[in-house]
Structure 1
Amino acid sequence: MKKSNLLQMNNVGIVVESLDSAISFFTEIGLKLEGRAMVEGEWAGRVTGLGNQSVEIAMMITPDGHSRLELSRFITPSIISDHRTAPVNSLGYLRTMFTVDNIDELVSRLIKHGAQLVGEVVQYEDVYRLCYIRSREGLLVGLAEQLGNKSATDIVENS
């Protein structure tokens, strides 16, 4: 039997309270709405283990076309827990990180749309300026502006 090999990462899923608000937030960062749809019925519940479900989804794509966020708003079954206010050292998924240009201008725009800077914009060596920002809905997102020719991969490989 042939061993299965990873081909690519398809998307990261994020459950949201307001699909319109989340689409607006990620559009402001620079993602584009690829499409919206309803996912419902018994077949979908067999995948998620939730039984009969009704979920409105929006697929957001990065400008390079390689990465996607699947935003989901559950209609049924209802939401049973909320991790949005968990501190960054909590177990589980933490955040999504985007490489951006002009981090200060983007943070300023996002704050005007109701986002909050979690800590502050900091510089890591001569490589990145970084920050965490929380959307109006509470989603945690990392932003990184690359400064020089080094990347995070270079730093990890040379450690």
Structure 2
Amino acid sequence: MTKSNLLRMDNVGIVVESLDNVIPFFLELGLELEGRAIIKGEWAGRVTGLGNQTVEIAMMVTPDGNSRLELSQFISPKVIEDHRTAPVNALGYLRVMFAVSDIEDTLERLYKHGAQLVDDVVRYQDAYRLCYIRGPEGILIGIAQALK
């Protein structure tokens, strides 16, 4: 007997200033662009609580096809708050963690897209090497490499 009707986590959403600046970073990380679309109208605002809205979204998908990242660029209404420079112990969204096969190679590729290491690549026991990085627009993500 199941305890809920939950099937899966569908996606994580991140609001950005410019899809054109952020999409190449996530492509370099290894996600694929599944599609881009303009979502507008009062019906969409009934979901978000923003009323009549216009937003351009880009849906990025992981190579296994199981996880998605929805990037949203609001056209109207305009963005009213910016939490990108908040420290990691601030309330709200923290980061999305991605599993990679080679953390050093991934970092080198992402540095070319403006990524900055938050502090250091660390080893957690004999299980992982991991770090936080800030990408374009200050987006915070984590990357982790399982140790074999």
Distance 2:42 2:29 in 1: 35
Matching of residues 1-159 of structure 1 within 5 Å: 5-148=5-148
TM-score (norm 2): 0.96
SS of the equivalent of 1:28 reads helix
Distance 1:133 1:116 in 2: 5
TM-score (norm 1): 0.90
Distance 1:147 1:94 in 2: 24
* Larger of the two Rg values belongs to structure: 1
**Residue 4 of structure 1: CA displacement?**
5.3
AA paired with 1:37? A
CA RMSD of aligned residues (A): 1.0
Query: How many equivalent pairs are there?
Result: 146
SS of the equivalent of 1:141 reads strand
Distance 2:40 2:83 in 1: 24
**Residue 21 of structure 1: CA displacement?**
1.5
| Contact residue 57 and residue 71 of structure 1 kept, 8 A | yes
Alignment identity in percent?
71
Distance 1:94 1:60 in 2: 19
**Residue 136 of structure 1: CA displacement?**
2.3
Structure 1 spans left out of the alignment, 5+ residues: 149-159
